[in-house]
Structure 1
Amino acid sequence: MSDILISALELGQRLEQPDPPTLLDASLPNSPIAPFVPEDGRTLPGALEFDIERVFSDPDAPFPHTLPALEALQQACGQLGLSLDDEIVVFDNRGVFSAPRAYWLLTQAGFTHVRLLDGGLPGWVAQSLPVQQGFSEPTPLSTPPVLKANPSVVSVDDVQANIASPRFTLVDARSAGRFSGQAPEPRPELASGHVPGACNLPFGDVLENGHFKSPEAIGQLLHERGLSSEDHLTFSCGSGITACILWVAAELAGFEHLSLFDGSWTAWVMSGRHQE
């Protein structure tokens, strides 16, 4: 699955060719960014805004970053001018942080040519490649694309049922301290801890200097946690963003049986399951 990633230099060359890919900036506005990339509105040339917070999340959901309804997702993709067979590259301003969420959302909806800029905007800037100020304007489609319902979403009830009758292994991307309950959650109203039976793989462990580690190194990390490519893995985090980093990492390592606990730890705590 090495074709998931594209390097800054390869993308720079691709943008100079006919029919360049559509660039989607999936940065979160409130996420810390690399110290050598000022938050001054810079992005890649021609990039469109993939707004996870306000557009590509359900505004009526009780949990942050919840997958939007299918019709809303189709409308949002249509407004960005995205067709199912378009070549798309997603990135963010942290290197690897929120762009995997966009990758997961699009690929599970039926887009077939989506890649992730490994190293994101910081890696692009480090190569002295050109940037622009602000986003480009999209050309909306006259008819939104016909997408499929995301088949990989796991609910709170699914996770609850899995404790008694395991069908998948829940892999939590949060820090070891939050997972163990020794460190607080960023949202002060939430208790820390983890779902019974879950294992912990902090998302930073699969990254190195803002890039994904090699498939072999990622595979070793998963193996060390007793996981094999035949296992069905379900990824979780705080609110469904960094769990997608583990999703991409697992794909890179050749794992195919994957799900995502979209509400993640926030949904688990707000449902009261952590007190049962």
Structure 2
Amino acid sequence: MASIKCGWVGLGLSSKVGVTASNSREFSFMSDILISAHDLLDRLASDAPPTVLDASLPNSPIAAHVPEDDRKIPGALEFDIERVFSDREAVFPHTLPLTEALEEACQGLGLAPDDEIVIYDNRGVYSSPRAYWLLTQAGFKKVKLLDGGLPHWLSLSLPVQQGYSAPAPLPARPALQANESVVSVDEVYDNIARQRFKLVDARSAERFSGAGPEPRPEFPSGHIPSSVNLPFTELLENGHFKSQEEISRLMRSRELDPSDHLTFSCGSGITACIVWVAAELAGYEHLSLFDGSWTAWVMSGRHES
């Protein structure tokens, strides 16, 4: 883990800090995917603390406004999805980078596949699942998401630092596996007739139906034929994932069964990863991502056919 260059602001590292009746969320559903704020606090005080990654996105039409805040979780490194962990040469935003480029980005942050990693973002649950997907599909085995993200951490008055820590780059690029979970626009088009997988759209019901606008005004709203709408917001509650039981109920209400092969889509590959993580939490295993999502579908011209 990279050394911390900024002083911490707040209380000392102790899992007993700030535990009140209002923190009952800390003792609810956790998993191999999620870690609670107080469990992370304990891990940061250990002899081998995890690497903490901040995968927040800046305010934009696709990311709801949050106040500018330089407070970070102690030791946090900047996981820059837009400028570093996406293919900047791609036509579509947030496109999965080539494996070699991902290796270089991980080398620069000092990330190795065997590292224990905790990811968060500043909206509770928004862009951190994208970072989780990028790393786990590249072969990282010990990656967790901070339940409730930075907002929950701050609400508990847990320690913070001002600004990011300095990364300690690896001496060589880590050997990562190619991401085999991506589905292309041609495969999505072919699936309309063949139905090899169920396409799950994470956008709002208004955007899916065409009644509401897309955040990018140059794109029409609507949906891909035969896709199912499961807005990512329905899987969340107060910045946390809902319980495994509630997620399973919502999935089954869309006739999405654990044995199904599910492919997730959204506007440009960010919130689809929220539904991906929710599906993992509910025990679904056959998962893919339409990385280009609605943006790629519209730019392919197939929405007009």
TM-score by length of 2: 0.88
User: Percent of aligned pairs with the same residue?
Assistant: 71
In the other structure, the counterpart of 2:242 is 213
Partner Cα distance (1:190, 1:149) in 2: 31
Partner Cα distance (1:32, 1:206) in 2: 17
**What SS does the corresponding residue of 2:172 show, helix, strand or coil?**
coil
Partner Cα distance (1:40, 1:223) in 2: 39
For 2:177, which of 145, 148, 154 is the aligned residue? 148
Check the 8 A contact 1:169/1:233 in 2, yes or no.
Answer: yes
Check the 8 A contact 1:53/1:65 in 2, yes or no.
Answer: yes
Check the 8 A contact 1:9/1:127 in 2, yes or no.
Answer: no
- Structure 1 stretches lacking a partner, 5+ long: none
**What SS does the corresponding residue of 2:144 show, helix, strand or coil?**
strand
Q: Deviations over 1:112-168 (max 9, x none)?
A: 000000100001001110111111110000011100110100010010000010100
Partner Cα distance (1:132, 1:194) in 2: 43
* Alignment pair present for 1:114 and 2:143: yes
In the other structure, the counterpart of 1:41 is 70
Residue 2 of structure 1, CA deviation: 1.7
Check the 8 A contact 1:239/1:265 in 2, yes or no.
Answer: yes
For 1:32, which of 64, 68, 77 is the aligned residue? 64
Partner Cα distance (1:22, 1:237) in 2: 29
Q: Name the aligned partner's letter for residue 199 of structure 1.
A: V
Count, aligned residues: 273
Q: Name the aligned partner's letter for residue 297 of structure 2.
A: W
Q: Name the aligned partner's letter for residue 208 of structure 2.
A: F
Runs of 4+ aligned structure 1 residues displaced above 6 Å come to none
Q: How does 1:76-225 map to 2 (within 5 A)?
A: 76-225=105-254
* Alignment pair present for 1:240 and 2:269: yes
Residue 263 of structure 1, CA deviation: 0.2
In the other structure, the counterpart of 2:6 is none
Partner Cα distance (2:273, 2:57) in 1: 14
Partner Cα distance (1:7, 1:33) in 2: 25
Check the 8 A contact 1:101/1:245 in 2, yes or no.
Answer: yes
Q: Deviations over 1:17-62 (max 9, x none)?
A: 110000000000123355xxx4221111110000001000000000
In the other structure, the counterpart of 1:56 is 85
**What SS does the corresponding residue of 2:42 show, helix, strand or coil?**
helix
Partner Cα distance (1:61, 1:82) in 2: 24
Partner Cα distance (1:215, 1:33) in 2: 28
* Alignment pair present for 1:250 and 2:282: no
- Structure 2 stretches lacking a partner, 5+ long: 1-29
TM-score by length of 1: 0.97
How well do the aligned residues superpose, as a CA RMSD in angstroms? 0.9
